[in-house]
Structure 1
Amino acid sequence: MSYLLFLFVVWNFELYMVPLALLLLLAWNYFLIVSGKDNRQHDTVVEDMLEDEEEEDDRDDKDSEKKGFINRLYAIQEVCVTVQNILDEIASFGERIKNTFNWTVPFLSWLAIVALSVFTVILYFIPLRYIVLVWGINKFTKKIRNPYAIDNNELLDFLSRVPSDVQVMQYHELKQDSTHSPSKRKKNNPP
């Protein structure tokens, strides 16, 4: 059923329908408020929510007093490590994108140029509706065609092969210092 619904919506959907639907929703709510037919009671709902939050805060205060200082410290450390790891992943992702456009690995940058050129030509000559239809048909029939296939994202696979700034520094070739070469030491020091 969802497959048929997807095909129907994509085939009949136009981009201008999104703002039009939002405009109609706003106009409908405006006419309900102006005519006085709006039966929602915002004030009582908000007051009930505030009272519930105050009761939860009181319970949380009592529970937090029971917890020891050490447990809080461990929890804070875990949260800090998690946040640091997430920020590291985000920074690494941004560095990989930057390094793609900085030609850090020329082969991958050329591959990106070819892929973007092909994608641009496809988008120019094939309407977006057909592209979304092909994508949807592929998505819905993937498990039927190959039930043991592993899902992957080609863009993330590509970016995983581009080195981040840390990896560029780690794999950077070291320059050999000519003053410390073993052959010169042998020449300077008589046996």
Structure 2
Amino acid sequence: MSLVRTVSAFVEFINSLFLWKHKLQTSSAFLIFVAVVLTFDLWVVFAFLLSVFMVQYFRNNVGATNQTSPYQVSSEDAVSSDDDEDHVIQDKKGLRQRLQDLYNICLTVQNNLDMVAGLGERVKKWSDLLSQLR
């Protein structure tokens, strides 16, 4: 029932925009629409998806190293401080490895985007060639 009310409220809002019931609201919606239409490109969708994937990657892999509670005492803390120093060195290596993995992922994405751009240029060249033949 809530979905029906939400959809009906959205339809009423759109109808009020088309009927110019509130002139300031309608003109601002129109300006936003024009700005989005003029500035939107297909690459924006891919950039948005890439940013979503990168945020999820950082949340899952990079931010997951310190998930323990600060009040918990691990057995490593009770043994000695030498183990702590070894643990810090391993974390640094882990961070370096993660950054290297991230670099490799970015490089792969860049190479794939370059391949897609090359394909697009070839298609455009062929379409220009075919349009000249007509």
Considering Cα pairs closer than 8 Å and 6+ residues apart, tell me whether 1 or 2 has the greater RCO. 1
Q: Same fold (TM over 0.5)?
A: no
TM normalised by structure 2 equals 0.32
TM-score, normalised relative to structure 1: 0.24
